[in-house]
Amino acid sequence: MSPRFSGLAVLGAGLVAAVALAEPGATRPADALARLVALWGAVMALAAVALAARVPLVERRLGQTHALAIHRVVGPAAAVLVTAHVGLVLLTYRSDGQDLLSTGLELLLGTQWMLPATAGFVAILALSASSWHRVRARMRYETWWAAHLYMYLAVALAFAHEIFVGPALPAGSVRRGAWVAAHLAVLAAVLGFRVVAPLMRSLRHRPRLVDVTADGATLVVTVSVVDLDALALQGGQFMYWRILARGLWWQAHPYSVLDASDGCLRLAVRATGDYAAALGRSAPGTRLAFEGPYGVMTAARAVRPGITLIGAGAGLAPLLGVARDAPGDRDIRIIAAVRDRDPLLEDELARGAAEREHRTGRAVPRHVARGPLSPSDLTAAWIEKHAPGVADDDIYVCGPPGFTRAVLDALTTAGVPPQHIHTEVFAT
């Protein structure tokens, strides 16, 4: 099921929920429409928050990449619907000859709870603008991240007017009860799965920085972890990491796990960006915290006898985890794209392949493409050349978004059924 299809399915389910929540037999059709659109938008906003709450069931069944792809359909839809609601309300509540501005001011200042609701609307507009890809590309990641926190505030600001203004959700009704319960459930999920659970896990596993090796495009970071087995980490998964130091603790970055053994995790970190630099400067023994592991791009997904791994840059790290975990009777081959000088990652690649060859007695053919690759190079023919018969394999793809997209397009052209393509896009 493609994310776009799932996104539309969630939109449809949201409309059904909105119709169920809407009051039966409203007096004026225009009022009823304005409120239905509002409820639909509010349900979608709540769904967007829930999809980003890292609910274990969603993370395991759907995967974060898929969940966030739906989030990116549902979130903008919420913004559009809420904007439509504001427009419809202005038009509906306008009395004869009154202009929209004075109608707006009258509603805003003359009705209780409308000022918070409008503040929430402004927050949603600002957030939508910051998430628009052209604006986002010019923005620091941290600013964009902080802007996203305002979505929680926007939902809370709008909540009072949903309940107390107008007859949409009257006191004592089942509909009001359901609406309040849905908000409480999402609040509990966000607090539980994004705050409490990661805190508990970090307290239990007490991760500390052991050492950072830097040479070329990838850093290899070694972290000591208490009770490593209890993490139930699978090859191909990733974790969000934070450095518990002044000015750094508040942001978390996704790094994939190269391997886990002897009470230590080794992470592959792309050597660009402020956070990677801060990691490189941190002293051994520095406390860290983590969220996860997350990710569904694991060996357990492969059902065919052959597995082709196609990766670029730090995206090769989780693929090595897949190669390690895959049963010994599978034939594995690797296509690696290494743009910048990256000796550490190439070493890992060679070592991972050699280990598997030694363990299973089966060769692991590798093709390493060095230097820049453009999406036009990554054609079906190019993949077929380096991995003949690729359409009969389970295929794992991981790399920067542009690379991943180009490879997925090529694989679709080559006729690989979508259920045999496994991919993960890190939400960096």
Partner 1 sequence: MIARAPFVLAATMAGTVAVFAYQPPDIATAGTELGAATVAGQDAPATAPVEVLGPPVDTDYGPVAVTAVVDPSTGRVVRARATMYPTELPKSARINRTAVLTLEAAAVGRSTADGIATVSGATYTSEGFRGSLAAALASARTGSTP
Site residues (CB under 8 A) for partner 1? 23, 26-28, 31, 93, 95-96, 98, 106-107, 109-112, 115-116, 118-119, 140, 142-143, 146, 150, 153, 157, 160, 164-167, 170-171, 247, 250
**The pair of three-digit structure tokens given for residue 226, joined into one six-digit string:** 């208490």
| Collapsed DSSP state (helix, strand, coil) of residue 342 | coil
Report d(CA 65, CA 240) in Å as an integer.
14
> Quick one: 5 or 249, whose CB is closer to partner 1?
249
> Quick one: 137 or 303, whose CB is closer to partner 1?
137
The nearest distance, CB 90 to partner 1, in angstroms, is 12
Burial of 132 (0-12, 13-18, 19+ CB in 10 A): exposed
The nearest distance, CB 189 to partner 1, in angstroms, is 22
> Quick one: 251 or 379, whose CB is closer to partner 1?
251
> Quick one: 140 or 358, whose CB is closer to partner 1?
140
Q: How many CB atoms lie within 10 A of CB 273?
A: 13
The nearest distance, CB 204 to partner 1, in angstroms, is 28
Report d(CA 404, CA 349) in Å as an integer.
19
The nearest distance, CB 168 to partner 1, in angstroms, is 10
In the chain, count of helices (H) and strands (E)? 15, 11
The nearest distance, CB 118 to partner 1, in angstroms, is 8
* Residue whose pair of structure tokens reads 């409308």 in the numeric block: 114
Phi, psi angle pair for 206, to nearest 5° = 40, 60
The nearest distance, CB 28 to partner 1, in angstroms, is 7
Give all strands (DSSP E) within 187-282, no chain letters: 208-215, 218-224, 238-243, 253-261, 264-270
> Quick one: 211 or 274, whose CB is closer to partner 1?
274
Burial of 166 (0-12, 13-18, 19+ CB in 10 A): middle
Q: Are 82 and 43 in contact (CB under 8 A)?
A: no
The nearest distance, CB 217 to partner 1, in angstroms, is 26
Give all strands (DSSP E) within 281-393, no chain letters: 288-294, 306-312, 331-338, 366-370
> Quick one: 171 or 283, whose CB is closer to partner 1?
171
The nearest distance, CB 27 to partner 1, in angstroms, is 6
* Residue whose pair of structure tokens reads 């006898």 in the numeric block: 305
- Residue 293: asked if its preceding bond is cis (omega within 30°), the reply is yes
> Quick one: 23 or 342, whose CB is closer to partner 1?
23
The nearest distance, CB 48 to partner 1, in angstroms, is 20
> Quick one: 146 or 185, whose CB is closer to partner 1?
146
Report d(CA 357, CA 60) in Å as an integer.
30
Quote the distance between the C-alpha of residue 391 and its chain's center: 28
> Quick one: 104 or 280, whose CB is closer to partner 1?
104
CA angle 151, 153, 154 (to 5 degrees): 60
